Structure 1
């Protein structure tokens, strides 16, 4: 079995992959971001600020859930783009829409499962936000619920980072089999996943200081690095001649 590559080596490979294709990667990220922004605006403007009736409230939340799933499938296309790049295959902006045009039932089903798991983790936070205040007698309950949601979200982050990558890579596995296989892959790699995420915190701070403009450069770099981590875990990357 090939030795695991260190974060520095994965980042070096990612920079090489992005060389000459950074502008294309930025265009793909911008496409997903703009579609997400403009698809959500009508509901946020028309329904998010005016809850005259319970029906409007229900419509608003249903719309938010449906849009979240559609955007999630769109983001799966972004993952496919980076998988193609890392595998030295042709990659193009149209990869973003791949999951809508090919086996869409599989990809929508896979993301609905992932979305449901994520919402379970966020449930304590939603309960605290809507029913408990960070003041008075309910402050302790609210803090406990926020903390529980943070812990559950962290567990989801470290247990299922490879799930959507597997759905896109292993057509021979069902979406549920991909879920269980993703948990198997994370064994022995949890610290690597955490380290990769932590290593980008400094860059994300700079993105905030640049009013988000820096994300155009950082997001493709992060996505390609994490994609190479996935390929390293599954044994698709070549062995390293010397450990960095």
Structure 2
């Protein structure tokens, strides 16, 4: 049985005295992966602007996987209180760019297809593959399919626990929205580190 309160408490203890680093790295990772959803605020979009935005989105998709796996590596090191956890970690996975891109696209495509067919299967698939990035971050030698299979294996019997864990942050998310988004500076690393603790708890069970 997974105790949500224990995972969250562990995250708080790990963050004590290290909030600055966690906020900085999380913010950088979110900004870089946010390139995928970049859009124009212009009312009159020219062909040139569309091409530029298209290029930015493509670049964003290409690097999103590497940044996501790199951020996962940072979270695992941070959770283990390794002193060398730093901003460098989020850029540490570009040496396996084809693999991180492939994993990112496959996880996204599988989740989208499941959601299009029916909402519930999409959620289940998303939960099943949610640990894939942590798996690859821990072992770069694993193939894309091995990471996805390993995620599905360790999530067997824990999908509901992870789903409820995510829901438990809704209240904090609402408060963060009310604060004009400022609260997310603290919520994002807190949530991310809690998910890393979840992975570390179930991976060897």
Q: TM-score by structure 1 length? A: 0.72
Structure 2 counterparts to residues 55-74 of structure 1, below 5 A:
64-74=57-67
Partner in structure 2 of residue 12 of structure 1: 9
- Structure showing greater radius of gyration is 1
Aligned to 1:113: 106
- 1:92 CA drift (Å): 0.5
Write the distance in 1 (CA, Å) between the matches of 2:33 and 2:165: 26
Query: Over residues 70-100 of structure 1, what are the superposed CA-to-partner deviations in whole Å (9 max), with x where a residue is unaligned?
Result: 2343222221111111122221011111112
Partner-residue secondary structure (3-state), 1:212: coil
Quote how far apart the aligned CAs of 1:25 are.
0.6
1:92 to 78, 86, 110: 86
Would you say the 8 A contact 2:33–2:68 is kept in 1?
no
Counterparts of 1:40 and 1:198, CA distance in 2: 23
- Give the unaligned 5+ runs of structure 2: none
Is 1:169 paired with 2:138? Answer: yes
Who is 1:50 aligned against? 45
1:117 CA drift (Å): 2.1
2:162 to 189, 193, 198: 193
Would you say how many aligned residue pairs link Structure 1 and Structure 2? 204
Contact 2:36 2:58 in 1 (8 A): no
- Asked if residue 227 in structure 1 is aligned to residue 196 in structure 2, the reply is yes
CA gap of 1:151–1:93, structure 2 versus 1, over 3 A, is same
Q: Compare relative contact order (CA 8 Å, sep 6+) and give the higher one, 1 or 2.
A: 1
1:25 aligns with 2:19: no
Give the superposed CA RMSD: 2.9
C-alpha deviation, 1:40, in angstroms: 6.3
Ranges in structure 1 where 5+ consecutive residues have no aligned partner: 125-147, 237-244
Which residue is equivalent to 1:216? 185
